[in-house]
Amino acid sequence: MRTLAHPAPASQRTGEAREQREYVTALARGLEVIRAFAGQDEELTLADIAKIVDLPRATVRRSLITLDALGYVEEKGRFFRLAPKVLTLAQAYLSSNLLPRVAHPFVQQVSSGLGESCSVSILHGTEIIYVVRSINKRLSALLGDVGSRRPAYCTSMGRVLLAHLGDRELDAYFAAVELKALTPYTVTDESELRLLLAKIRKQDYCLSDQQTEMDLRTIAVPLRNSTGLVVAAMHVTTQASRTTKRQMIDRLLPALRKAAVEMRGLLV
């Protein structure tokens, strides 16, 4: 006897239909065109952009004309580049979101006190996004600026955030992510990663040793809001050639934990 799947509740079907009606495809494509410039040359041709976003040239052309009219893109002959106005999109997030405003002085304080780079990131999809960052000239070539993305599975901040996901969320993450080796030390086995995440959740910190870049070590802690919910992660970076793992735990970890505790009451 064949078993038929139960239809979705009427309320769910209505909600899905409404989302489809209200979804603005042109806006989504325009945002994809803006994101196409990430990690690319400053100037791209129409063909370059169409290839990156996997859309017809005519569709991309319409998006570029609109973005040019709004001041987010500049056209020069056959080339296009992002205009400075794009920065206002990031600024809108940074100025309106509580996390970057609260974390910034603590990041600077930790970085200054330790003489190392310090950053805060959030989990977005399968990646982390840097939302606050200090600068250390010795490591500037290895680290990203605010807005940069990194794979979550091989970064200390990413692992801290993954460690505090629920079971269903973590299953969904592993179903979506592609685990690639970025260095000879990168852990790419899902079973091994799950064991690491369980350990990280228990000890409440993560030390990552050359998982994303050779000679790069990082140590991270979760950032909780006033209700105890993990909303971000904070890490300090250093070089494996000059800082042992023991030194990171003894010297860097206490400073991170102190900052995390002090921030908690401010993240309401």
Q: Which tokens is 90 given?
A: 């990031």
CB under 8 Å to 131, separation ≥6 — which residues?
94, 97, 99, 100, 103, 120, 121, 122, 146, 232
Tell me, what's the pLDDT at 3? 37
pLDDT for residue 11 is more than 60: no
Average pLDDT over residues 111-136: 91
Say what the pTM is. Answer: 0.75
Tell me, what's the pLDDT at 55? 92
Tell me, what's the pLDDT at 220? 98
Per-residue pLDDT band for 191 (boundaries 50, 70, 90) equals very high
CB under 8 Å to 69, separation ≥6 — which residues?
none
Q: Which domains does the chain have, with CATH numbers?
A: 12-86 (1.10.10.10), 97-264 (3.30.450.40)
Tell me, what's the pLDDT at 15? 52
Q: pLDDT, tens digit, for every residue of 238-264?
A: 999 999 999 999 999 999 999 999 999
Residue 174 C-alpha from the chain's centroid = 16
Tell me, what's the pLDDT at 19? 62
